[in-house]
Amino acid sequence: MSNGIIILGATGPAGEMLARDLCAADHKVWVMMRSDERKKEFEDMGATVVIGDAMDRDAMFSATQQAADACDTVVNLIGGSPMNPPESWPDYTGNVNAIDAAVGAGIGRFIFVTSVGTGSSWQYVPAEAFTRPILELKTKAEEHLHESGLRYCIIKPGGLWHSEQVSAEDEPLVTENDSVRGILDRTQLVRIIGQVLADTKGRTDGKALYAVTYKINVFEGDATPFEF
* Residues, the chain: 228
pLDDT, tens digit, for every residue of 107-127? 999 999 999 999 999 998 888
pLDDT at 161: 78
pLDDT in tens, 57-72: 999 999 999 999 999 9
Predicted structure pTM score:
0.94
> Which amino acid belongs to residue 122?
W
Q: Which residues contact 160 (CB under 8 A, 6 or more apart)?
A: 13, 14, 183, 184, 185, 186, 189
pLDDT at 183: 87
Q: What does the pLDDT read at residue 127?
A: 81
pLDDT at residue 2, as a whole number:
65
Among 77-81, 107-111, 182-186, the least confident range = 182-186
Q: What is the pLDDT of residue 82?
A: 86
Q: Is pLDDT of 47 > 80?
A: yes
Percentage, residues of the chain above pLDDT 70: 95
Q: Looking at the predicted structure, is the pLDDT value of residue 168 above 90? A: no
Residue 217 pLDDT > 90: no
Hey, where are the domains in the chain? 4-218
Q: What is the pLDDT of residue 59?
A: 95
* pLDDT for res 213: 84
By the 8 A CB rule, do 135 and 118 touch? yes
What's the first-to-final CA gap in the chain, in angstroms? 26
Average confidence (pLDDT) over 143-166: 88
Does position 19 have pLDDT exceeding 90, yes or no? yes
Q: Which CATH class is domain 4-218?
A: alpha beta
d(Cα 228, Cα 73) in Å, to the nearest integer? 18
- Residue 163 binned pLDDT confidence (cut-offs 50, 70, 90): low
Average pLDDT over residues 5-30: 96
Nearest to 223 by CA among 109, 110, 124: 124
pLDDT (average), residues 7-21 = 96
DSSP secondary structure string, the chain?
--SEEEEESTTSHHHHHHHHHHHHTT--EEEEESSSTTHHHHHHHT-EEEE--TT-HHHHHHHHHHHTTTEEEEEE-----TTS-GGG--TTHHHHHHHHHHHHHT--EEEEE--TTSGGGGGGS-TT-TTHHHHHHHHHHHHHHHTS--EEEEEEE-EEE--TT--TT-PEEEES-TT-EEEEEHHHHHHHHHHHHT--SSTTTTEEEEEEETTSEE-SS--PBP--
